[in-house]
Amino acid sequence: MRVIASDGSAESVAELTRAVLAALDGGPAVLPLDPRNPAAESVRAAMRPDEPVEPDTAVIITTSGSTGRPKGTLLSARALLASAHATHARLGGAGRWLLATPPGYIGGLQVLVRSHLAGTTPGVVDLSRGFRPDAFADAAREVLSASGPHYTALVPTQLARLLDAGCAEVARFDAIVLGGAACPDALRRRAEAAGVSLVPSYGMSETASGCVYDGVPLDGVRVRLGADDRIEVSGPVLAHGYHLDAQATAEAFVDGWFRTSDVGRWSDDGRLQVLGRVDDMINTGGVKVPARQVEDALLRHPAVRAAGVVGLPDPEWGQRVAAVVSTSDDVAVDALRETVRAELGAAATPKQVSVVDELPLIGPGKVDRSALRRLLLGHVDHA
């Protein structure tokens, strides 16, 4: 196993790219780590890099560890390439990519694989000092100056910041694959109004990045709803397990299907709708409330920039719905509650709301729900 530290700088991306391409060609498996992550060393230790790697492994992508100890997802060259081929087929052909998300996560790493398939070198947004719209614009102009088509991948937080900054380059890409977290309806409408060609995606490390684009599975990918409407995925993009964790592998990968931690439903037009994680379902007074639906309702309030919702223990209700929001203007907590009540009813209305400057994140654009719970348990409502 080759452990490659990549902080998002162009130099570290180049080193990681060389290692990944060698792994795709049968070389040592690659474990990318972000040295800026305070938990990087503990993640490295959990992966036990001195021990043998399971056969047919090209890359090991670690989970964020938000719900427990990190797991190392085992991805073969076959799965990575299948995902990249299917992505190009859906978007309209191979093209030039701009890497704008951390390459140690699957969304960023797949930009490297897709560029390899396209026979091009990806543009790189220097992330060593964090994501900056001006750095994105500079890197985008260089990519856009070459023949296309032109693609990039972003998380919703990045897209919102680019729109806030009035970045004109974001609308010049032929497609922007949006993943890492759910895309709020308001952000999607705003992007479309700005002329952005947005492709919301659903997927994870275990599916070698997004495997469902705008509700439709990629070619070769099958999706079904299992017990309790849990989303299950099959196809050539699947990982083949978790590093040195036979039990977790056996629980998640069954008869060629990967059992995700997400709950879904099919829309009337046959598209997959992701309602949220199984463990994010809040049982309050016997009513099951998807945290994501409450977040979406809060985000439809014009003053709310970001929202995170969790269930907290409650002696009367079993669990109570609690929310943390970041707002662009002063807004009364009661107004936020009424927004949810009007759309989803009394059971889904947050009994506790905290307003913060920024929501805690873990991974690219993902809300750290453990941090939300700690914050809410230590705070009372305020606006």
Residue 66's pLDDT is what? 41
Provide the domain limits for residue 300. Answer: 277-377
Q: Look at residue 13 and tell me if it is in a domain.
A: yes
Q: Which of 354, 355, 337 is nearest to 346 (CA)?
A: 337
pLDDT at 185: 81
Q: Do 316 and 264 fall into the same domain? A: no
Q: How much is the pLDDT for 157? A: 84
Q: Give the domain CATH number at 354.
A: 3.30.300.30
Residue 155 belongs to some domain of the structure: yes
CATH number for 255: 3.40.50.12780
d(CA 199, CA 159): 12
Same domain, yes or no: 294 and 207: no
* Chain mean position to CA 83: 16
Tell me which of 215, 243, 270 is where a domain ends.
Answer: 270
Q: Are residues 66 and 87 in the same domain?
A: yes
Q: Is residue 261 domain-shared with residue 290, that is, in the same domain?
A: no
DSSP per-residue string spanning 171-219:
GGSSEEEE-SS---HHHHHHHHHTT--EEEEEEEGGGTEEEEETTEEPT
At 222, phi and psi to the nearest 5? -115, 140
Residue 143: how many other CB atoms lie within 10 Å = 25
Q: Which of 270, 292, 318 finishes a domain?
A: 270
The pLDDT value given to residue 379: 64
CB 173 within 8 A of CB 145: no
pLDDT score for 314: 86
Whether 218 and 321 map to the same domain: the answer is no
- Write down the pLDDT at residue 251: 94
- 193 and 55 share one domain: yes
- The model scores a pTM over 0.95: no
- What amino acid is encoded at 245 in this protein? D
Of 251, 270, 289, the residue that ends a domain is 270
**Looking at the structure, do residues 223 and 299 belong to the same domain, yes or no?**
no
Same-domain check for residues 56 and 105: yes
Contacts with 123 (C-beta within 8 Å, 6 or more apart), sequence order: 96, 97, 98, 99, 139, 140, 142, 143
In a domain, residue 191? The reply is yes
Residue-wise pLDDT for 128-178, tens only, equals: 988 999 999 999 999 999 998 999 999 988 998 999 999 999 999 999 999
Residue 67 confidence (pLDDT):
45
Q: Give the pairing type, strands 150-154 and 96-99.
A: parallel
20 within domain boundaries: yes
Is there a single domain that holds both residue 188 and residue 234? Answer: yes
CA dihedral 65→69→70→74, nearest 10 degrees, is -130
Low-confidence ranges of the chain (pLDDT < 70): 64-68, 363-365, 379-383
How far apart are the two ends of the chain, measured CA to CA in Å?
50
How many structural domains are present in the chain? 2
Domain assignment of residue 260, yes or no? yes
Residues 264 and 345 reside in one and the same domain: no
User: Is 297 in the same domain as 214?
Assistant: no
Return the structure tokens found at 314: 């409650």
Within a domain: residue 289?
yes
Q: Is 282 found in the same domain as 266?
A: no
